[in-house]
A and B are shown apart, each in its own frame.
Chain A
Amino acid sequence: MKIFVVGMGVLSPASFGINEFSRSILSGISQISKLENDDYSNIPVKIGGEVKNKDLKKIGIEKMREDRAFYFLDYSVNEAIKAYNLNPIFERIELKKGIFIGTCYNGNETLDKTYGYYNKGQENFINPLFLVRSMRCSSTALVSEKWKLSDFSITVDTACSSSLHAIGLGYLFIKWGVLDLVVAGGTDTPLFPVSIIGWNKLNVLEKDNENPTKVPSPFSKRRKGTVLGEGAGAVIITKEEICEKFGLIPLAEVCGYGYSNDTTHLTHTNHKSIEKAIEKSFQDYPELFEKVNYIQAHGTGTPVNDFEETIAIKNMFKDKAYKLKVNSVKSMIGHTMGASGVISTIAAIIQMKENKLHPTINLDEPDPECDLDYVANESIDYEVNCALVNAFAFGGSNAVILLKNLN
């Protein structure tokens, strides 16, 4: 059974919708900036991939009654369905429809605000709906209510690999015949004070507050950590039969879902486990291993991740590793945590369709230990045959998606 992506939508820190996002990443523009909130003044890290209030107004988000993560998810799911004229398919009651959303922060903004009221003795300000809004699954529920995705709903939290697992699970559910049409994606809003303080205390954040666009610098020798970003993305997945029946235009084929679990350390990723996930991504189409010529890396910019990921690629692909193109969209938008897997997937599909690769920006000091072709600093013309998208996570749950170009 062939399974295709037929719609996609995205909201990244400074680009809204597929067209803006595509232009921005293919031009190698950093979306990292100084944080605008006053609450950040006493916090050592004052930069991030932040969605600005003025931009939110431009896309019609003014008052946020629901959790912040909902509005981002809602925006990207709307685009994924409406911009690809899929509304009529979602109205077909005979199709079995499900939703898979990855997030590790949905609800935290609501909780943060609520604890703020409680700690100031303002219990009257505690909204009676804060509990339901702070559930990890609240945005998934609101979006599924809107689009009547009545057959299956799950919110996936495996930290930074959440939304790539969401896509993989959606792929499996279609393959197993459980669902016909899947909304898969992720949303995350990690830029609030306690979160930034926490990540900083783990020593995994860049702190160059004066030069926000110069970090993160995945795979470079000067990399010291990642930069937190917020955003969301969604893809619509279905099977060939539905595409033919309803005249849908496939954007890319999903050919495999690889997964593995480190079981070695809470935060230290492990190249052996990454290799296992890459290997598993070929279990449905082993012949595509030879066709892969591009990898959208997890590439967070932390010393450990980029080193281990590079070793895993080299161990898996041997000599061919040096012929592969590998890049990281996080170099431009930061690490959108649970949303990063789907945003990486969307970036990979855009590059397939445009026959171009976006650069890994800020790669100005090559690291001898990270010696693959990371498409440093300048975008290039390139025809992707098959792509791998990687997402790894604290907690150890790794995901890899295999995509095939249909051009």
Chain B
Amino acid sequence: MQISEKDIMEIKNIIAEILKISPADISENTHFVEDLKADSLSLLEILFEIEKKFNINFPPEETSGLLTISKIREYLENFQG
């Protein structure tokens, strides 16, 4: 799947809205838990919104590794839909 800069911006907006922070405070390597203190429910919701946007389902065994935008980008780019 091709991921554009616009897609990345939208992912940042999703995270910002759920965590009630500014998208400017999120870079591709910002760690959702260590840097942004996201709790388990927020993580569920962030991944859910990203799934909806790209019309995919992250396999449960993958989600614990999807804690930065760069990891999500990597997963999406390698995704064969």
Contact = CB atoms under 8 A, between A and B. Distances in A.
A127 interface: yes
Interface stretch (B23-31, B40-48, B70-78): B40-48
B48 A127 contact: yes
Interface string A44-56: 0000000000000
A124 B47 CA distance: 12
A129 interface: yes
A65 interface: yes
Contact of A124 (B18, B44, B45, B52): B52
Interface residues of B, number: 10
Interface in A322-348: none
B17 A65 contact: yes
A124 B54 CA distance: 11
A65 B15 CA distance: 13
Contact of B44 (A63, A65, A125, A128): A128
Interface in A64-102: 65
Interface string A108-146: 000000000000000011011100100000000000000
Contacts, number: 19
Contacts of A128: 41, 44-45, 48
A128 B42 CA distance: 10
B28 to A, nearest CB: 24
Interface residue SS majority, chain A: loop
B41 A125 contact: no
Contacts of A132: 41
Contacts of A125: 52
A65 B18 contact: yes
B71 to A, nearest CB: 19
Contacts of B41: 128-129, 132
Contact of B17 (A63, A124, A127): A63
Given A124-B51, A124-B57, A132-B41, 10 more contacts: A63-B17, A124-B55, A127-B45, A127-B48, A128-B44, A128-B45, A128-B48, A129-B41, A129-B44, A129-B45
19 contacts: A63-B17, A65-B17, A65-B18, A65-B45, A124-B51, A124-B52, A124-B55, A124-B57, A125-B52, A127-B45, A127-B48, A128-B41, A128-B44, A128-B45, A128-B48, A129-B41, A129-B44, A129-B45, A132-B41
